Amino acid sequence: MSAGKTAAYDGNITNYLFERCLAPEMANHPAFVVGETIYSFAQIHERTNRVANLLKAMKVAVGDRVMMGVIDGPDFPAVFLGAIRMGAVAVAINTYLKPTDYEYYVNDSGAKVLFIDHSLVPIIEEIRANLTNVQRIVVSGRKVEGYPFLDDLMAEHSAAAEVHPASGDDVAFLLYSSGSTGAPKGVVHTHAHIYWATELFGLGIQGVRAGDIIQCPPKMFFAFGLGNQVYFPLRAGATVIVNPEPATPARIWDLWLKHEPTIVMSVPTLYAGMLKIAETEIGQERTRRALRRLRYGVSGGEGLPAPLYERWQEFAGLEILDGVGTTEMTHMFILNHPGRSVPGSCGRVVDGYRAVVVDEDGRELPTGEVGNLLVCGPSAMVEYWNKPEKTAATMRDGGVLTGDKARFDEDGNIYLVGRSDDMLRVGGVWVSPLEVETALTRHPAVLECAVIGFPDENSMIKPKAFVVLGDKTSANQDRMEQELKEFCRSQLAHIKCPRWIAILPELPKTTTGKIQRFRLRQAESL
């Protein structure tokens, strides 16, 4: 199955990923640390080959989709890379979904084989009769009666495998969009896309290198976690501290304090929760000691509020590099540079990519004007799986419309001002929800927030804020709402201030930590 593009990289990407780390001086070094168990690069390579041979024995053909709902750990790279190594298309999916979601993913992709964590068996049992194309289901993690167990199957096959002679243009994997703005879409990527994302971003601007200790809470089944936990560190020879459990701030701190990573990649929500624990429980001295080997943190998923960046720097001396990536572009393509971060900006375009701000007709806009962010580069998706209309609406001039509203400053820094469907037209003026959210997070009582448009008594759109407080027990809600409104008036033009503020115990999010504003809009419309 070919994507029909000319790729500078040619060959099966798994050869590139394992090339350095299998050198004699590297092969037995730690690739993954999972609890007290260490897996070497050689062991991950062997497991990958065993899965490739297993899939051949199952009569999986070149181009067939192999779906995996597998938790973070050694089974994830083994299945993901094993499928790619023998010529199939790996399809990684979220492991925290509902039965109807899995039914959609499996049937939409046409997957022939399904690998699932043992915890998902009851969910899959509910929908198994509806999975029309699935021929085999394999369980990982623990044995489940009535299901073949991955470890047992791998043991039956050789640790050496013939590698499918893929082209760089051949499709290697699908990732489904996280659904922060609606129904998921299968994003199609090639072998060459992994190469370019690794060379230009992972090893290039992000600087992952041999000997690094990486901690990345976002899960491997998402683009952010897949690059930072699987293909970047494999190519570089870096060690990943793996967390199979849910990524709570307390859990991430436990691992951070124990392993003292050299690079951390996370999302603003987790950085906010971790800072609260650092300030109230760990203390400044112990926090700074845990960061002594850390070169910097990387933030993605959504905009990093300037106040959060500043608080981390002041309390812990940590520089967090905010950046932008999308599933459609394989990984990140904009990042602040170490030592040159501009708070509130998401950084500059990574070398090898091109980004422009365009109007609704695709015309490039002058510096400073807000428009739609269009990104071009060698890791841009091929298409949305079986969705030609969605593909046509997203891809333009060889690039991808990210769905972000953005502007450039005179120095080439990029500022995201909201999603295309999140921007608010208030009194004839464009209002950025992100700007209002940034103002609100400057208040010491606010842990996180989200802003949407809501109609007033005259059906005119005004900003409405949903706020989660750092201390959820002590605040008088009415008094706090009024205090936050007055606080916003001190920082924002009147038209940008929230007309309403609702205090919630938590905000709806994807499992990567992205706030699902469309769910807030849906709830308010009922």
pLDDT in tens, 226-266: 999 999 999 999 999 999 999 999 999 999 999 999 999 99
Q: Tell me the pLDDT tens digit for each residue of 17-52.
A: 999 999 999 999 999 999 999 999 999 999 999 999
φ/ψ of residue 508, rounded to 5: -70, 135
Task: Kindly tell me the burial class for residue 142, based on how many C-beta atoms sit within 10 Å of its own C-beta (0-12, 13-18, 19 or more).
Answer: exposed
pLDDT at 96: 86
d(CA 175, CA 230): 14
Determine the pLDDT at residue 128.
95
Instruction: Give long-range contacts, CB 8 A cutoff, 24+ apart: 302-306.
Output: 302/267, 302/268, 302/513, 302/514, 302/515, 303/268, 303/346, 303/416, 303/434, 303/438, 304/268, 304/271, 304/346, 305/268, 305/344, 305/437, 305/438, 305/441, 306/343, 306/344, 306/438
Percent of the chain past pLDDT 90, that is, above it, reads 78
Give the pLDDT band of residue 178 (cuts 50, 70, 90): low
Query: What pLDDT, on the 0 to 100 scale, is given for residue 5?
Result: 47
Q: What is the dihedral of CA 143, 145, 150, 155, to 10 degrees?
A: 90
Tell me the per-residue pLDDT of 93-147, one tens digit each, with 9 for 90 and over: 999 888 888 999 999 999 999 999 999 999 999 999 999 899 999 999 999 999 9
Q: List pLDDT tens digits, range 423-478.
A: 787 866 678 888 899 999 999 999 999 999 888 876 778 999 999 998 766 668 88
Q: Is the pLDDT of residue 4 over 50?
A: no
Identify the H or E element spanning 420. Answer: none
C-alpha atoms less than 13 angstroms from C-alpha of 123 in its C-beta half-sphere: 17
Tokens of 65: 């989709």
* CA angle, residues 317, 322, 328, in degrees to nearest 5: 155
Q: Give the model's pLDDT for residue 525.
A: 62
pTM confidence score: 0.87
Q: Say if CB 229 and CB 214 are below 8 A apart.
A: yes
Quote the CA–CA distance of 129 and 67 in Å, as a whole number.
17
202 secondary structure, DSSP code? I
Answer whether residue 417 shows pLDDT above 50: yes
Interval 387-404: pLDDT, tens: 999 999 999 888 999 988
- Rounded (5°) CA angle 235-238-242: 110
Q: Which residue reads 């068996």 in tokens?
A: 121
Residues 6+ apart with CB under 8 A from 361: none
Q: By C-alpha distance, which of 205, 192, 234 is closest to 324? A: 205
Interatomic CA distance for residues 98 and 264, integer angstroms: 30
pLDDT at 72 over 80: yes
Least confident stretch, 269-273, 322-326, 483-487: 269-273
What pLDDT is recorded for position 6?
45
Q: What share of the chain is helix, strand, coil (3-state, %, to 5)?
A: 35, 25, 40
Q: Is the pLDDT of residue 365 over 90?
A: yes
139: β partners: 116, 149
pLDDT score of 309: 92
CA dist., res. 244 & res. 71, Å (int): 6
Above 60 in pLDDT, residue 345? yes
Q: Which pLDDT score, from 0 to 100, does residue 428 have? A: 60
What are the DSSP calls for 313-354, one per residue?
A: HHHH-PPEEEEEE-GGGSSEEEEPPTT---TT--BEEPTT-E
- Angle, vertex CA 318, rays to CA 312 and CA 319, nearest 5: 100
How many angstroms separate the CA atoms of 162 and 57, rounded?
Answer: 13
Q: What span, in angstroms and rounded, lies between the C-alpha atoms of 518 and 452?
A: 9
Whether the predicted pLDDT of 180 surpasses 90 = no
- Residue 103, classed as helix, strand or coil, is helix
Closest CA to 421 of 482, 457, 372, 385: 372
Give the integer Cα–Cα distance in Å for 447 and 277. Answer: 12
* Stronger pLDDT, 259 or 269, i.e. the higher one: 259
Report the pLDDT averaged over residues 352-379: 95
Assess contact for 231 and 92: CB atoms under 8 A: no
- State the average pLDDT for the chain: 92
182 has a pLDDT exceeding 60 = no
- Structural domains for the chain: 13-28+37-202 (3.40.50.980), 248-419 (3.40.50.12780), 424-525 (3.30.300.30)
